[in-house]
Amino acid sequence: MTQHATSVATVHPRPRIVIVGGGFVGYTVARRLARGLRAGEADVVLIDGTGVMTYQPFLPEAAGGLVEPRHLVIPLRQVLKKATVVTGLVTSIDRTYRKVHVRLPDGTDYAEDYDQLVLAPGAVPRTRPIPGLAAGAVGFGTVADAAYLRDRVLRRIALAANTDDWPTFRRALTFVVIGGGYSGVEAIGELQSMAMAAIRRYPNLKPRYLRWELIEASDEIMPELPGNLGAYARRRLTKSGISVRLNSQIAALDGDLVTLAGGQQFHADTVVWTAGVRANPLLAGLGLPVDARGRLQCDPTLRVQGDDRLWSAGDGAAVPDLVAGDRLRRDKAMAAVPLCGPTAQHAVRQAKMLARNLIAGLRGKSLGDYRHRDAGSVASLGLHRGVAKIYGVSLRGPAAWLLHRCYHLLMVPTWGRRVRVAAGWAAALLGGRDLTPLPIAVVPPYLAAERERDQRGERVA
Ligand SMILES: Cc1cc2nc3c(=O)[nH]c(=O)nc-3n(C[C@H](O)[C@H](O)[C@H](O)COP(=O)(O)OP(=O)(O)OC[C@H]3O[C@@H](n4cnc5c(N)ncnc54)[C@H](O)[C@@H]3O)c2cc1C
């Protein structure tokens, strides 16, 4: 246990704990505080831009039509009865006067006082200065992205079935995913699985007309997995018809023209960008030390270095991984302590520790350090295909895929949501996956203009 006891001076009759972000960290901290705080011990306010928690590991299945997008979002107000939930975007934080500035959905601004502040606004896609990329590529981090992509793939197949124009046909059926990490691999696996099922509905189309490209800058996909599993995943994807380009990068995206760093060019209507994340830019504006990815430097108790009223965890926090550090020191491989990776597994465990330490701090008790032995990873490569490494045991194929599903089903917050997800799988098992395109699917704002052009038929002419 680290001795960092703190007493909390407050401006309100009761200590006011404000949580920014209601994702894995914010939701878990609020739940744990509700359980651990005594009646009247503190007020808890959670502010989130969307008002819902998104279970991101199921986004690929939502894109693939196997999970209904609505079923992977959890309405925070409904599940956090003891906290005040505010739907609004935090625009800035004033550490001198201890105020969080919030923009409400109606455009008005207000300020929330805090005594203790938990910063958990997660990550945003890490884009590169590649010409045309920001305007032309779709991200893959929100329910809107997943719903949009599902609709997009299905509509492109329908378009290809109804055109006599060869270039239009070719680019409609060419799909590119940039980034061979977890989310890129899972996204392409699920979308391709869905496309294979959808194309069979069109007598004039054949699965071999589909072209899927996964572009990865390093020499293997899913570098988080031990080498042989990454290589297995790559072989599996290749066997199912996905071209995996290693050591390859996109150089430019000009409308639907993709140019690779080596100069090779091809046309694709759909380009998805999943090449890494960086911390929410809100955090860099605090004037506190951040790491190279913009994450707040935290000590092992989850306190932000430089301000003892601030706490952080998850994708926006640079938290020392003490367990990995011990192992490396034992192996004499490295002296410096490594940092925890941006995974839901760390986010949830850190959030539990953070809540415990917050309560301990309020009570003037000593704080504990975050130590978590990584349980491993599971990933889906599309229906019935997967890879996993759990507690040192490697699995592949349908067993890994089933493990992936069971693990994530149990991790989805609330039984209500778990039942809905499982019922969706049962329906897909009996009647096939849902291949209905939704012409009014939610469109990310940055794609609205492109979509309007699309609907006017300008790009197909
Ligand atoms: C497609 C995909 C698949 C993934 N699969 C896995 C997986 O299989 N296993 C795994 O371990 N991890 C996975 N991850 C990573 C995992 O989802 C993240 O590590 C985890 O969500 C981090 O939790 P967090 O609380 O830090 O951020 P988030 O869960 O992203 O929560 C951040 C919250 O902050 C809110 N917010 C942001 N900015 C503001 C603001 N200015 N004001 C108010 N609210 C704000 C957002 O609305 C959001 O609700 C996946 C991620 C993606 C995108």
Residues 402-461: pLDDT tens digits? 999 999 999 999 999 999 999 999 999 998 888 887 765 455 555 566 656 665 665 543
Query: Which CATH number covers residue 38?
Result: 3.50.50.60
Cα separation, 80 vs 85, in Å, equals 8
Residue nearest to atom 4 of ligand 1 (CA): 57
Residue nearest to atom 19 of ligand 1 (CA): 343
Quick: pLDDT tens for 163-175: 999 999 999 999 9
Please tell me if the CB atom of residue 377 comes closer than 6 angstroms to any atom of ligand 1. Answer: no
**172 and 245 belong to one structural domain:** yes
Strands 73-75 and 386-390: unpaired
Q: 20: Cβ below 6 Å to ligand 1?
A: yes
What is the structure's pLDDT at 4?
Answer: 41
Q: How far is the CA of 343 from the centre of ligand 1 (A)?
A: 9
pLDDT score of 251: 95
Q: Over the stretch 312-357, which tens digit does the pLDDT of each residue have?
A: 999 999 999 998 777 766 666 555 778 998 999 999 999 999 999 9
Is the Cβ–Cβ distance between 337 and 320 less than 8 Å?
A: yes
User: What per-residue confidence (pLDDT) applies to 453?
Assistant: 60
**CATH code of the domain containing 196:** 3.50.50.100
Residue 324 belongs to what domain range? 16-49+88-125+278-362
Distance (Å, whole) CA 359 – CA 350:
14
Residues 334 and 442 in one domain: no
The more confident residue out of 370 and 3 is 370
Q: What pLDDT, on a 0 to 100 scale, did the predictor assign at position 114?
A: 97
Same domain assignment for residues 194 and 235: yes
CB atoms < 10 A from the CB of 416, how many?
Answer: 12
Same structural domain for residues 268 and 403? yes
Do 283 and 266 have their domain in common?
no
pLDDT exceeds cutoff 70 at 10 = no
Same domain membership, residue 398 and residue 291: no
- Tell me, in angstroms, the distance from the centre of ligand 1 to residue 223's CA: 20
Write down the pLDDT at residue 1: 40
d(CA 258, CA 130): 11
Does 67 fall in a domain?
no
Mean pLDDT, the chain, whole residue set: 90
In a domain, 417, yes or no: yes
Residue 450 lies in a domain: yes
Lowest-confidence pick of 178-182, 223-227, 426-430: 223-227
Verify whether ligand 1 is closer than 6 Å to residue 192 (CB atom). Answer: no
C-alpha–C-alpha distance, residues 174 and 262, integer Å: 19
* Top-confidence residue, 127 or 76: 76
Protein residue whose Cα sits closest to atom 16 of ligand 1? 344
Token pair listed for 452: 């309007």
